[in-house]
Amino acid sequence: MAQGVAAVWVPVTDMQRAVAFYRDTLGLEVAHEGDDWSEIDGGGLRIGLNAREDAKPASDGGAVITFQPDGSIEDEIATLKERGADIEGSVSEHPWGRIMPFKDSEGNDLQYYTPPQG
């Protein structure tokens, strides 16, 4: 049996660019930074950045790291855009909450999520 999630890791081709995205664009704390492996503190969950020359994000699905925004999704997306993130699409509304997908600097899938109001 699993005791819990130790870390979630994503492939990156440019470690410095990836660390900068998670630190400067998303505003998360870097717990460890190295050439081949870096760790980001995702609020109690470690996000590992795994450097590989042939790293490619899955274009047909795969893991998605979902973040809880500090403010509204719209405000957080505006901040990401101000910080240079490439944001496509729009917020989608669902009975289970609202999501806004975006990508990190390496093309990995991320999203903001807020639960339904009420």
Q: What is the pLDDT of residues 53-64, one digit of tens each?
A: 776 665 655 678
Q: Which helix (H) or strand (E) holds 80?
A: helix 73-82
* C-beta of residue 92 within 8 angstroms of C-beta of residue 45: no
Tens digit of each residue's pLDDT (9 = 90 or more) over 71-91: 899 999 999 999 988 888 899
1 C-beta neighbours (distance < 10 Å), count: 2
Provide the whole-model pTM.
Answer: 0.79
Residue 55: per-residue pLDDT: 61
* C-beta of residue 108 within 8 angstroms of C-beta of residue 65: yes
Which one-letter DSSP state was computed for residue 60? T
State how far the Cα of 108 lies from the Cα of 5, in Å rounded to an integer.
19
- Residue 3's pLDDT band (boundaries 50, 70, 90)? low
Residue range 46-52: mean pLDDT, rounded: 89
Q: What is the distance, to the nearest Å, from the Cα of residue 100 to the centroid of all Cα atoms in its chain?
A: 12
